[in-house]
């Protein structure tokens, strides 16, 4: 039996963006061969996170990202010398992980739900980890 841990490379192209990675997560889950349990989706970065949101209207993504940018401006007099405190704060707001139930080999996402990789300090080469726990 394997570890049921899959790594998904994600290449981001803008400083801030939300990338629909649902197809990649589904493929990673399939590779584990696990039929039932939970998929734990984890983003091992301090300036990128993962969320689940609507996939039907791309304006939802645009509004969410736009609002986060207004909420935490890039240059707001932060102390952190790297100059990317806004990205750290946005990442904490979004969070580093999501858990999705898995049944009969299928992710239990709702019809309008997708998994989004959230970049806040790109462009960079990133990764997403998917750990599938059978049960």
Sites of contact with Zn ion (CB under 5 A)? 82, 84
DSSP state of 32: H
Q: Which is nearer to Zn ion, 84 or 114 (CB)?
A: 84
Apex 19 CA angle, 132 and 66, nearest 5 = 130
Q: Which is nearer to Zn ion, 37 or 96 (CB)?
A: 96
Quote the least distance from Cβ 53 to Zn ion, whole Å: 25
Q: Which is nearer to Zn ion, 29 or 89 (CB)?
A: 89
Asked if residues 118 and 124 have their Cβ atoms less than 8 Å apart, the reply is no
Quote the least distance from Cβ 80 to Zn ion, whole Å: 5
Q: At 19, give phi and psi (nearest 5°).
A: -110, 125
């Amino acid at each position: 039996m394997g570890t049921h841990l899959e790594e998904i490379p994600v290449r981001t192209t803008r400083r801030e963006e939300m990338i629909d990675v649902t197809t990649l997560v589904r493929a990673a889950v399939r590779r584990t061969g696990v039929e039932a349990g939970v998929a734990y989706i984890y983003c091992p970065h301090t300036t990128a996170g993962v969320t689940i949101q609507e996939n039907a209207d791309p304006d939802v993504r645009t509004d969410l990202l736009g609002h986060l940018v207004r909420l935490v401006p890039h240059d707001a007099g932060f102390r952190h010398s790297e100059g990317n405190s806004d990205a750290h704060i946005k990442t904490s707001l979004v969070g580093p992980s999501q858990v999705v139930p898995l049944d009969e080999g299928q992710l239990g996402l709702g019809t309008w739900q997708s998994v989004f990789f959230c970049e806040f300090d790109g462009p960079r080469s990133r990764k997403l980890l998917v750990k599938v726990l059978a049960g």
